[in-house]
Amino acid sequence: MTMRNAATLIAFGLLAVMSASPALAYKVYVSNEKGNSVSVLDSNSMEVVKTIKVGQRPRGITVSKDGKFLYVCASDDDTIEIIDTATDEIVGTLPSGPDPELFVLSPDGKRLYVANEDDNLVTVLDLEKRSVITEIPVGVEPEGMGVSPDGKTVVNTSETTNMAHFIDVGTHEITNNVLVDARPRFAEFKQDGSEVWVTAEIGGTISVIDTKTHQIKKKIGFEIPGLAKEAIQPVGVRITKDGKKAFVALGPANRVAEIDGDTYEVKRYILVGQRVWQLAFTPDEKYVIATNGNSNDVTFIDVQSGEPVKSTTVGELPWGVVVQPQ
């Protein structure tokens, strides 16, 4: 055998080993609102590998940019718990303000913007110092939090005021209030920063807001044969990095809607578990994961095909979900 042939065989052998190796698994974290726990799942097996006991009524959940820390809103404890993702142990808390429900991390990973539902405030936290920078008065029952890709604007939605509040990050002042439909629950920016999508749970719509003019450029509605309008309640929404697809959790409709990000057309309704609440992509955007509160499970959906792949039982009343970056 010549040296060239030997080298070729070795190269083919390495390629075969690499192609046979399974894709790297991501850790998926799910907050269980009634179970006072966080379920940890392996994205390859789609099974629970660990359960972490946390504070009372965990809801909002996110992970640091480097993936080292998990942040969980322990709403009834009026705090945010910090979990080390290497050990899955609680290593500290943050002064969240009263009743933290949902939050968003700044693009640089240095600040956390927290909706305090009971006191009509957005609390801004410095993560390095673990201290409060300021509190911003907003509308009644704030919940949804979104941050622009450039980090300059935060949008908060107030459920009772029915508004999306645009907040300047530099001044911490509200620059505009946009009236949307009843009970807005979530705000999600497109990665190019051109739009922010705001879901209205009772209104049954999504308002697509132009971030330059702050005008609503499109309202997206939903119709599912056999279901009453009031059963279709959009809550969580996630948009792919390229802006081509959006997935929307439709609450007691037990479905996730897939929407064309350019035409705003609803492409399909994906049947999942009961009372689907929040969503998260895996970092490779192979799957979008839905939390189904009343059936106590999560559903992995194939992003390309729009088909549900597997549903897995987690804790009691799963609410939020986030996936650790590699």
Provide, rounded to the nearest whole percent, the portion of the chain with pLDDT above 90: 91
**CA dist list (Å): 127 to 76, 87, 110:** 21, 20, 6
Quickly tell me which residue has 């909002």 as its tokens: 60
Q: Where are the domains of the chain?
A: 26-323
* Predicted confidence (pLDDT) at residue 3 exceeds the cutoff of 70: no
- State residue 23's pLDDT score: 59
- Mean pLDDT of the 122-150 span: 97
CATH fold, domain 26-323, is Methylamine Dehydrogenase; Chain H (2.130.10)
* Predicted confidence (pLDDT) at residue 193 exceeds the cutoff of 80: yes
Residue 322 — pLDDT band, cuts 50, 70, 90?
Answer: very high
Residue 109 DSSP symbol: S
* Predicted confidence (pLDDT) at residue 2 exceeds the cutoff of 80: no
Average pLDDT, the chain: 94
Tens digits of residue pLDDT in 66-88: 999 999 999 999 999 999 999 99
Phi-psi region of 322 (alpha: psi -120 to 50; beta: other; left: phi over 0): beta
Tens digits of residue pLDDT in 27-52: 999 999 999 999 999 999 999 999 99
